[in-house]
Structure 1
């Protein structure tokens, strides 16, 4: 948490995804080290579908817990597993020191766009997972939210009803899918509050690396790229580093609307997000890597 020049103090959290190779792990760790200097409220690590994806997430989360002082949350999904199997995973993560989860249903096992069917004997949805997590321990739980509604929801009211079920079952906050039209988020948040949902709803901010990549991500999750963003980013194709201005200006506008808590999708890249923070006047709270445990000191102790 820090002060932004000319604005109220605000807080932020970061999302990382687990590296899939030794080479990727080196880049991931450099990004973690660089961004740890900004002292986020917490960081989260994504979790793919199915039991085969547990190991990379577990290894990444455990390393963060063992070797840094970052408050760390693990994503968790319910696809391809019974509730008992999911509970076993939860206990394994708890034994490793995990006290926070991002509870998600997950994508359909047959891929994005396929009809979702709960696993036989599994948790039906994310609301059921939140309830199951709270039955195991008093975990801190984040859940997802969709300003433009989940692609599979019949309409916005059904989508908000699901968010309310997650909140009623004990969710502590919601992290939104990335979006670019702040008017859409403001209208969504108004509907959420009218529905009696009082938990914090953190806007998910995606600093854009390039327009082609953004289009691919948006098509997968049902997010809209407004025409003004297409035009703006298209004009910056020869200067990709200038893309950080889009995210910075989005944050500044949301601050003017009274928002003071943000969740950043880092894509395991530190330079772009640091450029956003520089534009916002956010300075590192400590030296790079100072959030990392000093193994020699621990051994000496």
Structure 2
């Protein structure tokens, strides 16, 4: 899994690295997700995590895009800085929320000029939050497949999309989710990364149904090591994905023992990752919450 270091790999070489080739290779990919920091203290924590994770030579890292496009400028700056100052290959998230097509094209053009060539194209959550109706920008887009088409229209971009093993909050059936992914693939999406996976069987059902429908889209499962039970339960609810009882029961048996909850959470993440890789998942995408310790422990267990 040694993909190169700052001293052995030039920026130009990382510019031409193919995420798709890595994802389709026999060896699984390991990647990490960060979000733009809100202040100097958060930035210091983030860069400490990045430097620690850089040492294990991940396949790539992704930088999220805030609700309603609220972190657009910070996402762009952080992605550019990761490309320029580290040995990492960055992938920028981009959402349709609150943006006109003209603004979206400007963001993609900024990435192109900076040498960033990997984008995760997302519709994004409604501006009012989950449970609220989706309202597109008057000059914007309604669906992620439309954004994929725009990004691919710029030429030399590798484009990934989101997948929802537990079902998108607005979809009715697994078949709806599969049909949506196939539409994204038809517009040029080359891989998908899932929301947090807590139920491996749901991931496998989605992947197998895609294959049955003739899709060749690799689907990378997203995992988040649980270190704070309340926080993760809340995040799962906000994403419209209540955590499975099998997971919450294991966490709740430790009560208020924070260290025991953390150890149980790491064990759950390790077991899930091993199961996913044994079942042929192309890699694991770790949601880090801008901290490295728990992620590195699970990574080390693998």
Do the two structures share a fold, i.e. TM-score over 0.5?
yes
Equivalent runs, 1:57-68 vs 2, <5 Å: 57-68=75-86
Distance 1:260 1:138 in 2: 23
Structure 2 residue 163 is the aligned partner of structure 1 residue 145: yes
Structure 2 residue 280 is the aligned partner of structure 1 residue 258: yes
Equivalent runs, 1:169-188 vs 2, <5 Å: 169-188=187-206
Structure 2 residue 42 is the aligned partner of structure 1 residue 24: yes
Contact 2:49 2:292 in 1 (8 A): yes
Calculate the TM-score normalised by the size of structure 1.
0.87
Q: Deviations over 1:238-282 (max 9, x none)?
A: 2244121110111111222222411111111100011112222xx
Contact 1:245 1:279 in 2 (8 A): no
Corresponding position of 1:192:
210
Corresponding position of 1:283:
none
Let me know the Cα RMSD of the aligned residues. Answer: 1.5
Distance 1:49 1:184 in 2: 26
Structure 2 residue 231 is the aligned partner of structure 1 residue 209: no
Shift of 1:127: 0.2
Distance 1:230 1:51 in 2: 32
Distance 2:84 2:170 in 1: 38
Q: 1:249 to 1:51 in 2, by over 3 A?
A: closer
The alignment partner of 1:136 has SS state of coil
Corresponding position of 1:155:
173
Contact 1:179 1:223 in 2 (8 A): no
Shift of 1:151: 0.3
Shift of 1:184: 1.5
Equivalent runs, 1:34-183 vs 2, <5 Å: 34-50=52-68, 52-183=70-201
More displaced 10-residue stretch of structure 1: 153-162 or 213-222 = 153-162
Contact 2:36 2:71 in 1 (8 A): no
Shift of 1:96: 1.8
Structure 2 residue 271 is the aligned partner of structure 1 residue 249: yes
Shift of 1:108: 0.9
Return the structure number with greater relative CO, CA threshold 8 A, min gap 6: 1
Corresponding position of 2:12:
none
Structure 2 residue 300 is the aligned partner of structure 1 residue 278: yes
Structure 1: 5+ residue stretches without partners: 3-7, 281-301
Q: Deviations over 1:39-92 (max 9, x none)?
A: 111111001144542121112112101101211011001111111111011101
Q: How many residues align?
A: 275
Contact 1:46 1:57 in 2 (8 A): yes
Calculate the TM-score normalised by the size of structure 2.
0.87
Distance 1:87 1:9 in 2: 34
Shift of 1:129: 0.2
Structure 2: 5+ residue stretches without partners: 3-25
Distance 2:290 2:276 in 1: 24
Distance 2:132 2:277 in 1: 37
Distance 1:19 1:10 in 2: 29
